[in-house]
Amino acid sequence: MSEQKAIATPKRTREILKKYGFSFKKSLGQNFLIDINILKNIIHNAGITKEINAIEIGPGIGALTEQLAIAANKVVAFEIDGRLVPILEDTLQAYDNVKLINQDILKADFEEVWDRYFQDDKPVKVVANLPYYITTPILMQLLMANLPISSITVMIQKEVAERMAAAENTKEYGSLSIAIQYYTEAKVKMVVPKTVFMPQPRVDSAVLHLEKRTTPPVDVEDEKFFFQLVQASFQQRRKTLRNNLSRHFKDILSKDQIEEGFDRVGIDGTRRGESLNIQEFATLANYYEQYVKETS
Give the binding site for ligand SAM (CB under 6 A): 28-33, 57-60, 63-64, 78-81, 104-106, 129, 131, 134
Cβ closer to ligand SAM: 131 or 269? 131
Cβ closer to ligand SAM: 37 or 170? 37
Does residue 110 sit in helix, strand or coil? Answer: helix
- CA–CA separation, 44 and 84 (whole Å): 26
User: Cβ 59 to ligand SAM, closest distance in Å?
Assistant: 5
Among candidates 180, 183, 208, 204, which has minimal Cα distance to 194?
204
Task: Determine whether 243 is exposed, middle or buried from the number of CB atoms within 10 Å of its CB (0-12, 13-18, 19+).
Answer: middle
User: Cβ 201 to ligand SAM, closest distance in Å?
Assistant: 8
Cβ closer to ligand SAM: 139 or 278? 139
Cβ closer to ligand SAM: 59 or 273? 59
Cβ closer to ligand SAM: 65 or 181? 65
Alpha carbon separation from 190 to 28, 198, 206 (Å, rounded):
24, 19, 6
User: Cβ 2 to ligand SAM, closest distance in Å?
Assistant: 19
Strand spans (E) along the chain:
32-33, 53-57, 74-78, 98-101, 124-129, 149-157, 184-192, 197-198, 205-212
Cβ closer to ligand SAM: 12 or 272? 12
The DSSP H or E segment spanning 160 is: helix 158-164
Residue type at 216 in one-letter notation: P
User: Cβ 5 to ligand SAM, closest distance in Å?
Assistant: 16
- CA–CA separation, 31 and 291 (whole Å): 49
User: Cβ 80 to ligand SAM, closest distance in Å?
Assistant: 4
- CA–CA separation, 158 and 190 (whole Å): 9
Give me the residue whose beta carbon is nearest to ligand SAM: 58
User: Cβ 228 to ligand SAM, closest distance in Å?
Assistant: 27
